Amino acid sequence: MLTGAAAALGLVAGTCAGYLVQAHRAPTKLPPLSQPSFAQAEGEGPEPLTAARDRRVKTDGDLRKLLLEKPRGARAAAHLMGQNGWLDLADYAEFYDEPGEMFGEIVGDEFRRAATTGWLVGRTHEVEIRLVQFRQEETLAAAANVASTRYWVEDEGGTDSWALPGTGTGRVYVHKRPDTKPGYVPVYTAEAHAWRGDIAVEMWITDIKPIPKAKIMDLAERQMERL
């Protein structure tokens, strides 16, 4: 007990001595609050990027202008949905097997707008292209759109697919088996799905004869170049 009491007294004495030493020292000066001033750069600031160099300027404009133009001699597609090249949310949901269910999912994906075009060459060769833009404030919905499409497209049998150069996960698909319905001529389909930034590209070619890989690949590459 005597040893413990002595140790405690020694600790208290040491603490008091430390406070006394600090109390007799001169206060340390604090650094000045003001900072040295820096000379401001002279001359004009950099010129704003042109639309050709600033992709955001291009994609925030009229989305329809980024679609491929109808080839010379082709006619407008007869059953193209939407008005004046635009698809609203309800129109876009109608492309799915369960429009009511998909409407809510597309809202959750932060759908912004969609532009569409299509044309008919001859009597049977038809093309349809959509550009679907998302707000992407919470999720990378354009990339997710392509990923989900790839899942169900590749699940179909009799389909060949190839990577779309320069797009990362973009792919083109050629369905070797025609879609057959009683009373209708068999129809072959090829399609492409890719994304760039906040825009998902959806493309289809249909014909009564098989569609070569080169045809859908060329069309998809030219569309991606415009983005």
How many Cβ atoms sit within 10 Å of the Cβ of residue 83? 9
* pLDDT value for 51: 58
Pick the range with the lowest mean pLDDT from 1-15, 125-139, 194-208: 1-15
Residue 138 has pLDDT above 90, yes or no: no
Here the tokens at position 49 are 């990027």
The closest alpha carbon to 187, from 197, 177, 200, belongs to 177
Q: The pTM is what?
A: 0.74
Distances (CA, A) of 46 to 34, 49, 50, 99, 131: 30, 9, 12, 48, 32
Dist CA 205 CA 189 (whole Å): 6
Question: Residues 68-87: pLDDT tens digits?
Answer: 999 999 998 878 888 999 99
Question: Residues 144-164: pLDDT tens digits?
Answer: 988 888 777 876 678 999 999
Q: Are 128 and 120 in contact (CB under 8 A)?
A: no
Residue 14 has pLDDT above 70, yes or no: no
Dist CA 138 CA 155 (whole Å): 29
Residue 5 has pLDDT above 50, yes or no: no
Residue 21 has pLDDT above 70, yes or no: no
* pLDDT value for 115: 96
Residue 45 has pLDDT above 70, yes or no: no
